[in-house]
Structure 1
């Protein structure tokens, strides 16, 4: 009886998840003939370019800098425009010091596919950040770690979007 209830419960969960369109997300898939992506940046040694390079390696894709041995028209090229970090005030302490704010990391980039017009895209990664004037050093380190996380998330978003854009730009059916 107990096993039957577990089976009915699992069946109910699976049918609910499948009916709402949920599916597990795997690694972003690019066309098989694309395995190298050229990364360029408006700023030399941009942190987002490094994060994107690291994430591409995790997904099994290669990256290279412009000027390497391959012609730019043969590869997908991503040009990272200058990143922006904005702060939006959420609350203040009675003393007037900032207690909490939203960090808004704005990412803009341009992606070029072989023999196609470049596509420009922009998105934001937002985090809530609580400041504590009594722990300035710890909060400074926490902010650095949060920015690294936001860059990694932005790199993942670029790769996921690139997967969809590649299918559309290169007229490939999945």
Structure 2
């Protein structure tokens, strides 16, 4: 069996972020044959500007593009900020979508999970991340999204939450873009 590499974009920059902890837990408990690589340095990306995205791009952008380009899948683990995805995540998707039609995210299976301490669990942020990634050319697996409310449940310890997150990861990893042929 070949190894599946999953690039993980974490939408929160806080070192003690619950979403970072979820990403680390998923990485540490990844199924056999799956490697999750948390993409570090999103905060180092300048805001996307076509004028600085030419023959030479900022080092952080080149590094992050390279890491995502070498992955087989992309998983976003993010909270919700003011009813949408965090700016750092939106900016990363902008960088990964370029050059137009050939960006590092193009044709990559893409899924979003995460938690926010609201009754909605980040649902709007996750929908916005999916929409943006879809427009950028990713293969968005919308039915894989897990938007977990972080109210009255310890998302790191709750078995039901962890099962949903592991199932989402498994669906992303198992995604087969080839249509099945009817026999």
TM > 0.5 fold call: no
Relative to its length, the structure with more strand (as a share) is: 1
TM-score, length of structure 1 as denominator length = 0.42
